[in-house]
Amino acid sequence: MDIEDDTKPRTHVILDAMGSDNHPQPEVDAAVEAIRSLKIEITLVGPEMVLRSLLDTSGGETDSIHIVHAPEILRMADKPAENTRRKQNNSMAVGLGLLKSGMGDAFVTAGNTGGAMANALFQLGRIRGVKRPGLSGIFPSKNGRVIVLDIGANTDCKAIYLLQFAIMGAVYGEQVLGFKLPRVGLLSNGEEPGKGSLLIQEAYPLLENSGLNFIGNVEPKELFGGDVDVVVTDGFTGNILLKSSEAATKLLVDTLRAELTASPRNQAGALLARPALMKIKKILDPGEIGAAPLLGVNGLVLIGHGRSDTRAMVSAIRTASQAAEANLLGKLQTALVDKLAVVAPD
Amino acid sequence: MDIEDDTKPRTHVILDAMGSDNHPQPEVDAAVEAIRSLKIEITLVGPEMVLRSLLDTSGGETDSIHIVHAPEILRMADKPAENTRRKQNNSMAVGLGLLKSGMGDAFVTAGNTGGAMANALFQLGRIRGVKRPGLSGIFPSKNGRVIVLDIGANTDCKAIYLLQFAIMGAVYGEQVLGFKLPRVGLLSNGEEPGKGSLLIQEAYPLLENSGLNFIGNVEPKELFGGDVDVVVTDGFTGNILLKSSEAATKLLVDTLRAELTASPRNQAGALLARPALMKIKKILDPGEIGAAPLLGVNGLVLIGHGRSDTRAMVSAIRTASQAAEANLLGKLQTALVDKLAVVAPD
């Protein structure tokens, strides 16, 4: 007998309270804000006394917020592999341990990306069949958003990794971002089939036969133009893609800002043009999604930007809870088994 | 007895008149304008009757402008390798033939990049010791300009190619762009030594021991921030770097433009902010350098953007004549022999 279960446990997000550059204030504020609008529980991981004191003075309802003590912090400068061994009580490792033990449904951190990947792989392992987990990122486009992976987990890739990134990226887009039959493209230096490095030429037929909605090679203009939903690339190229678009737009915005404050006439223009400038700021703002998953590890791990503020952390918590509610992990497992059996049987 | 030679022949630039998207008007106008300010001779290569008629109606002084007939055009859609054989009388092939025969000092084209590379390699061959010619590009930065190579000639590279790109890029920066002891960086997904793909890890020690002013790994933020003068990368990554920064800034500028014309208030702002917007346009404008050399072929070949207008073509002619006057080809030959003997003897 199937009865709708009102006592179904709430989605439980484990949040590294010490990840962002300005930790733990944005994390604590975001947790308080998130439980107002979302039916979730949150566990904050970090130094208990510090977090308790911030929670107590937050003025918000904190019944659904738990704290698990972790005395150490994995800093940006720390070498990931070393610290996975040395700083075993860092907030990231403790949080991932909670996820592994089933204490929560998803883990969110805005901390050191390399550290998060190393810790996640070490503690959770990979989804069955996955050769290499891929770090996804959300890019702005003319029409909305584009998933790109890998943006930095694997500097050297084989064609089969790219196929797996494509499968996982498509599932993520469909289940969490609401893309219908996501268009998957292979990042290359030209659109024609046959263009690209040896890796791309080898990956192309795998994607073509994957059953995915593969639209062929794409260039950055298709990505930012909104003509593709999931862009697949190796972690070296993806990282350069991410950082070059960030750095080029920063040069532009900095120049614009300097010019707009250079003379009274320009300042008047800036005031009037403010709505336009705000729109640009919004396009460049990573805060709306907040965090993107590390796809392929055996658990839901989402990594946000170190610069995340409270709003970005709230978005990250929301994205994590959506991913958990959509059973992203289970869907990834099924899709990988289905598609890989067809395309690349062991 | 050394006497200053007033009869020294002028620098002679061979110009593909049929290269740019709007050929041959920008090329012909640029030739007429260039000989006004530069002490050079120009040979226009293309359909003689068309070019002669345009020159005759240009109203300018045309004594130093010659025409060499080439009836065919290498179009963007043409497959480079095929056409090197089939369309043997295309303006690019004829122009490169003139360069090879010593009729001129440098060849400039705004045509199909792949076609130019294939034709140049086929007709001129490589500088002794060069494994692969690299296509250089000029990027904007906070402080001025940065040379990047390879931006698309070689999708798969070996470490020794990157070393050679570095040597050639540094010579070009020093001899033509006036960089003093150019800072050379290796494009990577992190600044620390040891970061990067296997290719980067292998190239790093070669560059470290090259005698160049090697500043280590650089990320796109150093490039656009002006902290490096020559950035070395493989042609696949370099092409993605180029196109992603172009596409990301285009998204930004398009959004800004759409917003600034969306309401009367915004339009007033746009009018007042016009100087700031012009400054941005200037940063994104490839027209100031006009063309960048294909480094490593045995001749001075400069390739400009297909979108080149008259101003861009004049800049391209000027850059070509500067490269010829600096004896860039000879300097490249010497530097390669010197540095490669030390770093990577055969």
Q: How confident is the model over A20-59, as pLDDT tens digits?
A: 999 999 999 999 999 999 999 999 999 999 999 999 998 8
The whole-angstrom separation of Cα B276 and Cα B260 is 13
- B346 band by pLDDT with thresholds 50, 70 and 90: very low
Residue of B nearest to A218 (CA): B240
Residue of A nearest to B283 (CA): A252
Give the residue from B82, B222, B240 with the most A CB atoms within 10 Å of its CB, the best one to mutate.
B240
How near does any CA of chain B get to the CA of A203, in Å?
15
Verify whether the Cβ–Cβ distance B142 to A268 is below 8 Å. no
Residue A160 contacts residue A151 (beta carbons within 8 Å): no
Q: Which residues pair with A292 in a beta bridge?
A: A303
Please state the rounded mean pLDDT for residues A139-164. Answer: 94
Q: Does B251 touch chain A (CB under 8 A)?
A: yes
pLDDT given for residue A5 in this prediction: 54
pLDDT given for residue A167 in this prediction: 97
**What is the tens place of the pLDDT at every residue in A96-113?**
999 999 999 999 999 988
Of the candidates B263, B318, B310, the one whose C-alpha atom is nearest the C-alpha of residue B289 is B318
Please state the rounded mean pLDDT for residues B82-95. Answer: 77
**What is the tens place of the pLDDT at every residue in B37-72?**
999 999 999 999 999 999 999 888 888 999 999 988
Reading the block at residue B305, the tokens are: 């953007």
Q: Does A283 touch chain B (CB under 8 A)?
A: yes
The whole-angstrom separation of Cα A16 and Cα A104 is 12
Cα angle value A314/A316/A322 (rounded, 5°): 105
Point out the residue among B221, B274, B283 whose CB comes nearest to the CB of A243.
B221
> What is residue A2's three-state secondary structure?
coil
Question: Is the Cα dihedral A295, A297, A301, A305 positive or negative?
Answer: negative
Of the candidates B253, B88, B291, B50, the one whose C-alpha atom is nearest the C-alpha of residue B172 is B291
- B2 band by pLDDT with thresholds 50, 70 and 90: very low
Residues 6+ apart with CB under 8 A from A302: A106, A107, A108, A109, A290, A291, A292, A293, A294, A316, A319, A320, A323
Residue B299 contacts residue B333 (beta carbons within 8 Å): no
Point out the residue among B155, B221, B269 whose CB comes nearest to the CB of A197.
B155
**pTM here?**
0.90
Q: Answer whether residue A82 shows pLDDT above 80.
A: no
Q: Answer whether residue B5 shows pLDDT above 60.
A: no
Residue B50 exposed, middle or buried by CB count within 10 Å (0-12, 13-18, 19+): middle
Q: Answer whether residue B4 shows pLDDT above 90.
A: no
How near does any CA of chain A get to the CA of B234, in Å?
10
Q: Answer whether residue A268 shows pLDDT above 80.
A: no
Please state the rounded mean pLDDT for residues A229-235. Answer: 98
> Looking at beta carbons, which residues of chain A come within 8 Å of B220?
240, 243-244, 246-248
Q: Does A76 touch chain B (CB under 8 A)?
A: no
Please state the rounded mean pLDDT for residues A215-234. Answer: 97
- B342 band by pLDDT with thresholds 50, 70 and 90: low
Residue A320 contacts residue A302 (beta carbons within 8 Å): yes
Average pLDDT, chain A: 89
**What is the tens place of the pLDDT at every residue in A318-340?**
999 999 999 999 999 999 988 87
Residue of A nearest to B152 (CA): A189
More reliable by pLDDT, B3 or A10: A10
Reading the block at residue A17, the tokens are: 């309270």
> Looking at beta carbons, which residues of chain B come within 8 Å of A187?
240
- A343 band by pLDDT with thresholds 50, 70 and 90: low
Residue of A nearest to B156 (CA): A197
Verify whether the Cβ–Cβ distance A249 to B254 is below 8 Å. no
pLDDT given for residue B343 in this prediction: 53
Q: Which residues pair with A40 in a beta bridge?
A: A11
* Distances, alpha carbon A343 to alpha carbons A201, A207, A265, B119, in Å: 16, 9, 62, 40
**What is the tens place of the pLDDT at every residue in B12-29?**
999 999 999 999 999 999
**What is the tens place of the pLDDT at every residue in B256-304?**
888 878 777 777 777 777 777 777 777 776 667 789 999 999 999 999 9
Q: Does B226 touch chain A (CB under 8 A)?
A: no
- A4 band by pLDDT with thresholds 50, 70 and 90: very low
pLDDT given for residue B79 in this prediction: 61
Q: In what order do the strands lie in the sheet with A40-46?
A: A65-69, A40-46, A11-16, A106-109, A301-304, A291-295, A134-141, A144-149, A230-232, A183-187, A213-218
What are φ and ψ of residue B277, in 5° steps?
A: -70, -35
**What is the tens place of the pLDDT at every residue in B225-252?**
999 999 999 999 999 999 999 999 889 8
Find how far residue A145's CA is from the centre of its chain.
13
> Looking at beta carbons, which residues of chain B come within 8 Å of A245?
244-245, 247-248
Residue B216 amino acid letter: G
Q: Does B154 touch chain A (CB under 8 A)?
A: no
> Looking at beta carbons, which residues of chain B come within 8 Å of A249?
248-249, 252
Of the candidates A27, A16, A233, A21, the one whose C-alpha atom is nearest the C-alpha of residue A139 is A233
> Looking at beta carbons, which residues of chain B come within 8 Å of A250?
221, 224
Q: How many CB atoms lie under 10 A from the CB of residue A144?
A: 11
Verify whether the Cβ–Cβ distance B270 to A273 is below 8 Å. yes
**What is the tens place of the pLDDT at every residue in B157-207?**
999 999 999 999 999 999 999 999 999 999 999 888 888 999 999 999 999
Q: Answer whether residue B121 shows pLDDT above 60.
A: yes
